[in-house]
């Protein structure tokens, strides 16, 4: 790493060669998935199935009876994609795609556009009615409508920035602390290594939490726009 901002460069320099191998990280998860199809399940596949069951229960509690068939599995796929990207990005010389807005926006923007288009087509009155909460004074209605409109329009950006910012913050902190190693004495160096290991464990937790938060917030935004009539029309 030549400088602090080179951590944002998706290229990997190995032996002086600028190799564009970072997109291979997306396909690493495909190596692990076929284990689910063996007759004798491994501990890895059992753990993965436990995570999937937990997500099914959580997302089922969010959507309730209003869920459209197949919707939950879309969010589970997004969860695992973000989780694998965050974890693999902790390995040296592997670029973390989820710290670039070009990746995080591609995850949040299509889902938001789909929600809004379906709401406009199938329940336009319901969508407009939610811009004004019940009991709002008449003189505040124009301001509330403006605030609610802006709040809904910036949702994909806030989701993308939240995910990217949390991943970038930890990686930059690891970079700043790790760059101080060559100039430290033995005792401070040992303390620095211990601190880096603890910070790395914290980043592992952040990788899990941020993928979960992104998935749940996305599902909550969809659930806010859904109604019984909306789900029945989509299913038909």
Report the mean per-residue pLDDT for the chain.
76
Choose between 157 and 63: higher pLDDT.
157
d(CA 106, CA 110): 7
Which pLDDT does position 1 carry in this prediction? 47
d(CA 213, CA 43): 26
Q: Which residues contact 144 (CB under 8 A, 6 or more apart)?
A: 131, 132, 133, 136
d(CA 130, CA 233): 19
The domain ranges of the chain are: 43-235
pLDDT, tens digit (0-9, with 9 covering 90-100), for 108-138: 888 888 878 877 877 777 777 777 777 777 8
What's the number of CA atoms in the CB half-sphere (13 Å) around residue 44?
9
- Longest Cα pair distance anywhere in the chain, in angstroms? 70
């Amino acid at each position: 790493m030549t400088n602090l901002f080179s951590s944002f460069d998706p290229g990997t320099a190995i032996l002086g060669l600028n190799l564009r191998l970072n997109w291979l990280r997306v396909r690493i998860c495909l190596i692990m998935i076929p284990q689910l199809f063996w007759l004798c399940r491994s501990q890895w596949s059992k753990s993965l199935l436990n995570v999937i069951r937990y997500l099914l229960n959580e997302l089922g509690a969010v959507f309730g009876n209003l869920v459209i068939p197949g919707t939950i599995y879309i969010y589970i796929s997004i969860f695992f994609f973000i989780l694998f990207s965050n974890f693999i990005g902790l390995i040296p010389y592997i670029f973390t795609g989820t710290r670039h807005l070009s990746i995080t926006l591609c995850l949040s923007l299509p889902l938001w556009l789909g929600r809004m288009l379906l709401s406009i087509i199938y329940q336009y009155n319901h969508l407009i009615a939610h811009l004004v909460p019940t009991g709002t004074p008449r003189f505040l209605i124009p301001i509330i409508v403006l605030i609610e409109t802006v709040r809904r329009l910036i949702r994909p950006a806030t989701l993308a920035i939240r995910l990217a910012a949390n991943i970038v913050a930890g990686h930059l902190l690891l970079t700043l602390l790790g760059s101080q190693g060559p100039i430290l004495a033995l005792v401070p160096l040992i303390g620095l290594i211990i601190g880096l290991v603890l910070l790395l464990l914290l980043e592992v937790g952040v990788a899990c939490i941020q993928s979960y938060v992104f998935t749940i917030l996305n599902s909550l935004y969809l659930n806010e726009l859904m109604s019984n009539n909306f789900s029945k029309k989509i299913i038909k």
